[in-house]
Amino acid sequence: MKAIVIPTSLNDKPYLIDLNELPRELDTYYKYIGCDCIDFVTIYSDYKRSVDVVVDDTGLLNGSPINEYWKRACEKGQANYPLAGKTVISMTNRRSGETCKLDLDFVKTVLVELYAFTEEDLQCIEK
């Protein structure tokens, strides 16, 4: 299954990763976020799925830089608080609670319409 890494700097573009890269999905999150304790922040939810941002649970405490993509969303009134460090976006099946296949077009729409991402930010992400 795929996920999107959101780097900390607006100069670096988001990119796709394979959550099955390592034997455990959790280890893949740790690798790309650079931490050993994660948390899920739901940024969109409907009756069947949620779009989640996976973050370093102690990112603000351990000195991780504020993520400029999420900071911009806050500055534009589209998020309540900035997130720290690299983040990973995945999707969850609400019935099973399991990670599900990433609907890339849908996630891009959520990011652009609700969180101040631009089409240019996401143009490098391919299916």
* Unique residue bearing structure tokens 């455990």: 24
**What tens-digit pLDDT sequence spans the chain (127 residues)?**
999 999 999 999 999 999 998 899 999 999 999 998 999 999 999 999 999 999 999 888 888 999 999 999 999 999 988 899 999 999 999 999 999 999 999 999 999 999 999 999 999 887 6
Q: Decide if 107 contacts 100 (C-beta within 8 A).
A: no
Rounded to two decimals, the pTM is: 0.94
Structure tokens at 26: 């959790």
Terminal Cα distance for the chain, rounded? 12
- Span 79-88, pLDDT tens digits: 988 899 999 9
Name the residue among 97, 98, 122 with its Cα closest to residue 19: 98
